Amino acid sequence: MVRDKNIYQTGYIFRMIAAALVMLAAALLLNPGQAYAQDGEEPGVKDSSSQASGFIPEEYSFEVASGDNQTLLVRRSIQLYDMADGSVELSEAQTIYIETNVVLDMGARDLIYPQQILEVMSQLIASYADSSQTLGASALAAWQVYAELADFDIAQISPQNVALSDDGQVVENHASQEEPVFTSDESASEASETEDNNWSVWLAVAGTAAIVWYGWLRFRDTRSN
């Protein structure tokens, strides 16, 4: 009977320890931000400095100005795409090939008016940038004839959502975007919530340690009996 009682007590102690460990694991899972506290990173956030390419938006969005036309805006989009995508380097002939096909796919519009918004999809540019890499020498020579007649000095044309940094890197234009303003009350609330989360984890760790220690003492007493 004594042996059976000891076995029962031992099993009870191990179940108690297992339950404590489960509680600790649950506390850590419910507060995943702690896993990033040491390296200062947040889940789901990438370090933009690790990206070799510049900013490529889903579309290049232009507000049409006097003297603009669809062809020029598409050409400028291709230039910005080429600057941002480090995997390709487009020649003038390839640029005209891409421009012609993108304009046709967009539905060539001879007339666009000031203050209209014209968007050039970057995926469309990417598709023809890829196919331009397969052009043969004769095709490139044919497109070069048109390239020599085109104006590539159009750096003054700029989309609303894209800008150039001081070092010439293509970046997202934040000037036209409203940035959220956080009041001191909101900041204090966020800090308080973070502090509460930290305490909940530490309490779970301390509680688990206490239960494991108590279980070990009971287990040692049981073995000695």
**Residue pair 74/103 in contact by the 8 Å Cβ criterion:** yes
Task: Parse the chain into domains and list their residue ranges.
Answer: 2-42+193-224, 55-168
- Residues 52-61 pLDDT 10s: 469 999 999 9
Q: What is the pLDDT of residue 110?
A: 76
Q: What is the pLDDT of residue 184?
A: 42
Q: For the chain, what is the mean pLDDT?
A: 75
d(CA 64, CA 117) in angstroms, rounded, equals: 6
d(CA 119, CA 71) in angstroms, rounded, equals: 12
Token code pair at residue 42: 């947040």
Residue 10 has pLDDT above 60, yes or no: no
Residue 8 has pLDDT above 50, yes or no: no
DSSP collapsed to 3 states, 162-200: EEECCCCCEEECCCCCCCCCCCHHHHHHHHHHHHHHHHH
**CA distances, 55 to each of 86, 99, 190 (Å):** 11, 20, 31
Q: What is the pLDDT of residue 195?
A: 54
Residue 27 has pLDDT above 80, yes or no: no
Which of 21-35, 105-119, 155-169, 197-211 has the lowest average pLDDT? 21-35
Q: What is the pLDDT of residue 111?
A: 87
d(CA 119, CA 43) in angstroms, rounded, equals: 32
- Residues 132-182 pLDDT 10s: 999 999 999 999 999 999 999 999 999 999 999 988 899 999 875 544 444
Residue 20 has pLDDT above 80, yes or no: no
User: Which residue did the predictor score with more confidence, 199 or 145?
Assistant: 145
Predicted TM-score (pTM) of the model is 0.57
